[in-house]
Amino acid sequence: MQKEPLIYIDGKFVDKSKAVVSVFDHGLLYGDGIFEGIREYNGNVFRLGDHIDRLYDSAKSIRLKIPLTKHEMTEAVLETIRKNQLRDAYIRLVITRGPGDLGVDPGLCKNSTTFIIVEPMASVLGPREPKVVKMMVSSYRRDAVDATSHEIKSLNYMNSILAKIEANSAGADDAILLDHRGFVSEASVTNIFLVKDGKVATPSSSAGILHGITRDRLISLCSDLGIDVAQRDVTPFELTTADEIFLVGTKSEILAVGTISGAKVGHGGAGPMTKKLYQEFSRVVQRAEEGTPVYEAESVNV
Protein backbone atom coordinates (compact mmCIF):
# COMPACT_ATOMS: atom_id res chain seq x y z
CA MET A 1 0.00 0.00 0.00
CA GLN A 2 1.30 3.45 -0.93
CA LYS A 3 2.51 5.52 1.99
CA GLU A 4 0.53 8.64 2.79
CA PRO A 5 2.17 12.04 2.30
CA LEU A 6 3.38 13.65 5.51
CA ILE A 7 2.21 17.12 6.52
CA TYR A 8 4.11 19.40 8.90
CA ILE A 9 1.90 20.87 11.63
CA ASP A 10 3.44 22.92 14.43
CA GLY A 11 6.67 20.93 14.58
CA LYS A 12 5.20 17.45 14.03
CA PHE A 13 4.75 15.32 10.92
CA VAL A 14 1.37 13.63 10.49
CA ASP A 15 -0.27 11.58 7.76
CA LYS A 16 -2.30 13.59 5.25
CA SER A 17 -5.54 11.91 6.40
CA LYS A 18 -4.88 13.07 9.97
CA ALA A 19 -3.72 16.60 9.18
CA VAL A 20 -6.31 18.90 10.76
CA VAL A 21 -6.68 22.35 12.29
CA SER A 22 -9.27 23.60 14.76
CA VAL A 23 -12.67 24.79 13.49
CA PHE A 24 -12.03 27.80 15.76
CA ASP A 25 -8.84 28.71 13.87
CA HIS A 26 -9.11 32.29 12.63
CA GLY A 27 -7.46 31.27 9.37
CA LEU A 28 -10.60 29.24 8.67
CA LEU A 29 -13.13 31.57 10.27
CA TYR A 30 -11.83 34.86 8.87
CA GLY A 31 -9.03 34.18 6.38
CA ASP A 32 -6.69 35.55 9.04
CA GLY A 33 -3.29 34.25 8.03
CA ILE A 34 -0.59 34.26 5.39
CA PHE A 35 1.02 31.78 3.05
CA GLU A 36 3.70 31.13 0.46
CA GLY A 37 3.63 28.95 -2.64
CA ILE A 38 7.15 27.66 -3.37
CA ARG A 39 8.72 25.36 -5.98
CA GLU A 40 11.40 22.71 -5.78
CA TYR A 41 13.25 21.92 -9.00
CA ASN A 42 15.51 18.86 -9.16
CA GLY A 43 16.24 18.86 -5.43
CA ASN A 44 16.68 22.63 -5.10
CA VAL A 45 14.05 24.98 -3.66
CA PHE A 46 13.84 27.98 -5.96
CA ARG A 47 14.41 31.34 -4.24
CA LEU A 48 13.51 29.95 -0.83
CA GLY A 49 15.16 32.84 0.99
CA ASP A 50 13.03 35.33 -0.94
CA HIS A 51 9.86 33.42 -0.09
CA ILE A 52 10.76 33.26 3.60
CA ASP A 53 11.53 36.99 3.65
CA ARG A 54 8.17 37.78 2.03
CA LEU A 55 6.37 35.51 4.50
CA TYR A 56 7.84 37.38 7.45
CA ASP A 57 7.07 40.74 5.83
CA SER A 58 3.43 39.68 5.45
CA ALA A 59 3.38 38.53 9.07
CA LYS A 60 4.80 41.85 10.25
CA SER A 61 2.21 43.78 8.27
CA ILE A 62 -0.73 42.00 9.95
CA ARG A 63 0.97 41.77 13.39
CA LEU A 64 1.11 37.97 13.24
CA LYS A 65 3.75 36.43 15.47
CA ILE A 66 5.62 33.50 13.93
CA PRO A 67 7.14 31.25 16.63
CA LEU A 68 10.02 30.09 14.42
CA THR A 69 13.06 32.05 13.29
CA LYS A 70 13.67 32.34 9.55
CA HIS A 71 16.39 29.72 9.86
CA GLU A 72 14.03 27.32 11.67
CA MET A 73 11.24 27.93 9.15
CA THR A 74 13.63 27.26 6.29
CA GLU A 75 14.68 23.97 7.85
CA ALA A 76 11.02 23.03 8.46
CA VAL A 77 10.32 23.46 4.73
CA LEU A 78 13.37 21.43 3.73
CA GLU A 79 12.66 18.66 6.21
CA THR A 80 9.06 18.36 5.00
CA ILE A 81 10.37 17.80 1.48
CA ARG A 82 12.90 15.27 2.75
CA LYS A 83 10.25 13.36 4.71
CA ASN A 84 8.24 13.02 1.50
CA GLN A 85 11.33 12.20 -0.61
CA LEU A 86 10.48 14.63 -3.40
CA ARG A 87 12.83 16.25 -5.90
CA ASP A 88 10.28 18.27 -7.90
CA ALA A 89 7.49 19.68 -5.81
CA TYR A 90 5.08 22.47 -5.03
CA ILE A 91 5.25 23.61 -1.41
CA ARG A 92 2.45 25.41 0.43
CA LEU A 93 3.62 27.08 3.66
CA VAL A 94 0.77 28.49 5.77
CA ILE A 95 0.70 30.47 9.03
CA THR A 96 -2.72 31.16 10.54
CA ARG A 97 -3.63 33.35 13.51
CA GLY A 98 -4.51 30.14 15.34
CA PRO A 99 -7.54 29.10 17.41
CA GLY A 100 -9.60 31.84 19.06
CA ASP A 101 -13.29 32.42 19.65
CA LEU A 102 -16.10 33.34 17.27
CA GLY A 103 -15.27 37.03 17.52
CA VAL A 104 -13.03 38.80 15.03
CA ASP A 105 -10.51 40.04 17.62
CA PRO A 106 -7.12 38.45 16.74
CA GLY A 107 -5.85 39.31 20.20
CA LEU A 108 -7.84 36.37 21.56
CA CYS A 109 -5.79 33.90 19.50
CA LYS A 110 -2.97 32.80 21.80
CA ASN A 111 -0.83 30.78 19.40
CA SER A 112 -0.48 30.79 15.63
CA THR A 113 -0.72 27.59 13.58
CA THR A 114 1.95 26.59 11.06
CA PHE A 115 1.54 23.87 8.47
CA ILE A 116 3.49 22.85 5.39
CA ILE A 117 2.15 20.76 2.52
CA VAL A 118 4.33 19.39 -0.28
CA GLU A 119 3.06 17.71 -3.43
CA PRO A 120 4.94 16.30 -6.42
CA MET A 121 4.86 18.72 -9.34
CA ALA A 122 6.95 18.51 -12.47
CA SER A 123 7.86 21.71 -14.28
CA VAL A 124 6.24 22.51 -17.62
CA LEU A 125 9.29 24.62 -18.47
CA GLY A 126 11.72 23.24 -20.99
CA PRO A 127 11.88 22.69 -24.74
CA ARG A 128 8.13 22.99 -25.25
CA GLU A 129 6.41 26.32 -25.83
CA PRO A 130 4.40 27.98 -23.03
CA LYS A 131 0.76 27.14 -22.57
CA VAL A 132 -1.60 29.65 -24.20
CA VAL A 133 -4.57 30.86 -22.12
CA LYS A 134 -7.78 32.81 -22.73
CA MET A 135 -8.33 35.80 -20.47
CA MET A 136 -11.03 38.37 -19.80
CA VAL A 137 -11.06 41.69 -17.97
CA SER A 138 -12.97 41.29 -14.71
CA SER A 139 -15.64 43.71 -13.51
CA TYR A 140 -14.19 43.24 -10.01
CA ARG A 141 -11.45 45.69 -9.05
CA ARG A 142 -8.29 44.62 -7.27
CA ASP A 143 -8.45 45.51 -3.57
CA ALA A 144 -6.86 48.89 -2.92
CA VAL A 145 -3.49 49.21 -1.20
CA ASP A 146 -5.24 50.81 1.80
CA ALA A 147 -7.74 47.92 2.04
CA THR A 148 -6.98 44.18 2.04
CA SER A 149 -3.84 44.82 0.03
CA HIS A 150 -2.49 42.01 -2.13
CA GLU A 151 0.97 43.17 -1.18
CA ILE A 152 0.20 40.98 1.85
CA LYS A 153 0.04 37.35 0.73
CA SER A 154 -2.90 36.59 2.99
CA LEU A 155 -5.39 33.73 3.16
CA ASN A 156 -8.18 36.13 2.12
CA TYR A 157 -8.47 35.44 -1.63
CA MET A 158 -12.15 36.30 -2.08
CA ASN A 159 -11.26 39.13 -4.47
CA SER A 160 -9.46 36.66 -6.72
CA ILE A 161 -12.14 33.99 -6.30
CA LEU A 162 -14.90 36.34 -7.48
CA ALA A 163 -12.84 37.23 -10.54
CA LYS A 164 -12.18 33.54 -11.22
CA ILE A 165 -15.91 32.74 -10.97
CA GLU A 166 -16.57 35.50 -13.50
CA ALA A 167 -13.91 34.07 -15.82
CA ASN A 168 -15.38 30.58 -15.53
CA SER A 169 -18.83 31.92 -16.43
CA ALA A 170 -17.38 33.69 -19.49
CA GLY A 171 -15.55 30.57 -20.70
CA ALA A 172 -12.14 32.12 -20.04
CA ASP A 173 -9.20 30.50 -18.26
CA ASP A 174 -8.70 33.43 -15.92
CA ALA A 175 -9.41 37.11 -15.36
CA ILE A 176 -7.33 40.27 -15.38
CA LEU A 177 -8.22 42.72 -12.61
CA LEU A 178 -7.91 46.49 -12.80
CA ASP A 179 -7.12 48.62 -9.77
CA HIS A 180 -9.47 51.24 -8.26
CA ARG A 181 -8.14 53.85 -10.72
CA GLY A 182 -8.78 51.69 -13.77
CA PHE A 183 -5.16 50.71 -14.41
CA VAL A 184 -4.13 47.08 -14.95
CA SER A 185 -3.20 45.28 -11.73
CA GLU A 186 -2.73 41.51 -12.16
CA ALA A 187 -4.56 38.27 -12.89
CA SER A 188 -6.27 36.29 -10.12
CA VAL A 189 -3.09 34.46 -9.04
CA THR A 190 -0.39 35.65 -11.46
CA ASN A 191 1.48 38.83 -12.35
CA ILE A 192 1.12 40.23 -15.85
CA PHE A 193 3.67 41.46 -18.42
CA LEU A 194 3.12 43.21 -21.76
CA VAL A 195 5.40 43.43 -24.79
CA LYS A 196 5.18 46.29 -27.29
CA ASP A 197 7.76 47.12 -29.94
CA GLY A 198 10.37 44.95 -28.23
CA LYS A 199 9.91 46.58 -24.83
CA VAL A 200 8.48 44.87 -21.74
CA ALA A 201 6.25 46.50 -19.13
CA THR A 202 4.59 45.26 -15.95
CA PRO A 203 2.28 47.03 -13.48
CA SER A 204 4.01 48.73 -10.55
CA SER A 205 3.30 48.47 -6.83
CA SER A 206 0.82 51.34 -7.04
CA ALA A 207 -1.62 48.96 -8.77
CA GLY A 208 -1.97 46.84 -5.62
CA ILE A 209 -0.08 43.83 -6.95
CA LEU A 210 1.56 40.99 -5.10
CA HIS A 211 5.33 41.40 -5.24
CA GLY A 212 5.80 38.09 -7.04
CA ILE A 213 9.04 36.17 -6.67
CA THR A 214 8.81 34.96 -10.28
CA ARG A 215 7.90 38.51 -11.39
CA ASP A 216 11.00 39.92 -9.72
CA ARG A 217 13.21 37.27 -11.30
CA LEU A 218 11.70 37.91 -14.76
CA ILE A 219 12.40 41.63 -14.38
CA SER A 220 16.05 40.96 -13.52
CA LEU A 221 16.23 38.35 -16.30
CA CYS A 222 15.08 40.96 -18.83
CA SER A 223 17.79 43.30 -17.57
CA ASP A 224 20.39 40.52 -17.82
CA LEU A 225 19.37 39.92 -21.44
CA GLY A 226 19.46 43.62 -22.36
CA ILE A 227 15.68 43.81 -22.77
CA ASP A 228 14.06 47.15 -21.93
CA VAL A 229 11.72 46.50 -18.96
CA ALA A 230 9.65 49.04 -17.05
CA GLN A 231 7.52 48.87 -13.90
CA ARG A 232 4.77 51.44 -14.40
CA ASP A 233 1.06 52.10 -14.70
CA VAL A 234 -0.48 50.08 -17.54
CA THR A 235 -3.80 51.08 -19.14
CA PRO A 236 -6.51 48.73 -20.47
CA PHE A 237 -5.82 50.24 -23.91
CA GLU A 238 -2.34 48.74 -23.74
CA LEU A 239 -3.87 45.29 -23.21
CA THR A 240 -5.76 45.56 -26.49
CA THR A 241 -2.77 46.85 -28.47
CA ALA A 242 0.08 44.78 -26.99
CA ASP A 243 2.18 42.61 -29.28
CA GLU A 244 2.41 39.95 -26.55
CA ILE A 245 1.10 39.41 -23.03
CA PHE A 246 2.28 36.77 -20.60
CA LEU A 247 1.52 35.80 -17.02
CA VAL A 248 3.99 34.61 -14.39
CA GLY A 249 3.71 32.89 -11.02
CA THR A 250 5.40 30.28 -8.88
CA LYS A 251 2.92 27.52 -9.66
CA SER A 252 1.93 28.68 -13.16
CA GLU A 253 5.52 29.52 -14.18
CA ILE A 254 5.01 31.37 -17.51
CA LEU A 255 1.75 31.42 -19.49
CA ALA A 256 1.18 33.11 -22.86
CA VAL A 257 -2.06 35.08 -23.26
CA GLY A 258 -3.73 34.26 -26.59
CA THR A 259 -6.94 36.26 -26.26
CA ILE A 260 -8.52 38.82 -23.94
CA SER A 261 -12.33 38.92 -23.96
CA GLY A 262 -12.28 37.16 -27.34
CA ALA A 263 -9.82 39.56 -29.02
CA LYS A 264 -6.48 38.15 -30.17
CA VAL A 265 -3.26 39.30 -28.52
CA GLY A 266 -0.73 39.55 -31.36
CA HIS A 267 -1.22 36.47 -33.52
CA GLY A 268 -3.10 34.67 -30.75
CA GLY A 269 -0.26 32.48 -29.48
CA ALA A 270 3.04 32.73 -27.68
CA GLY A 271 5.09 35.54 -29.23
CA PRO A 272 8.87 35.58 -29.76
CA MET A 273 9.65 37.55 -26.58
CA THR A 274 7.48 35.26 -24.46
CA LYS A 275 9.14 32.19 -25.98
CA LYS A 276 12.59 33.62 -25.37
CA LEU A 277 11.93 34.45 -21.73
CA TYR A 278 10.24 31.07 -21.25
CA GLN A 279 13.35 29.26 -22.48
CA GLU A 280 15.72 31.46 -20.49
CA PHE A 281 13.68 31.08 -17.31
CA SER A 282 13.73 27.30 -17.84
CA ARG A 283 17.49 27.49 -17.49
CA VAL A 284 17.35 29.84 -14.50
CA VAL A 285 15.27 27.53 -12.29
CA GLN A 286 17.73 24.68 -12.84
CA ARG A 287 20.75 26.65 -11.67
CA ALA A 288 22.09 25.50 -8.31
CA GLU A 289 22.87 29.07 -7.26
CA GLU A 290 19.21 30.05 -7.69
CA GLY A 291 18.00 27.51 -5.15
CA THR A 292 18.49 25.99 -1.72
CA PRO A 293 19.56 22.32 -1.90
CA VAL A 294 17.31 19.94 -0.01
CA TYR A 295 19.46 16.86 0.36
CA GLU A 296 22.76 18.29 1.57
CA ALA A 297 23.83 18.92 5.14
CA GLU A 298 24.78 22.51 4.33
CA SER A 299 21.36 23.23 2.83
CA VAL A 300 20.24 26.10 5.08
CA ASN A 301 21.45 29.51 3.96
CA VAL A 302 19.07 32.37 4.69
> Which of 70, 131, 153, 251 is labelled catalytic?
153
Phi, psi of 277 (to 5 degrees): -65, -35
Q: Is 65 a catalytic residue?
A: no
Query: What is the residue type of 237?
Result: F
Give the active site residues: 153
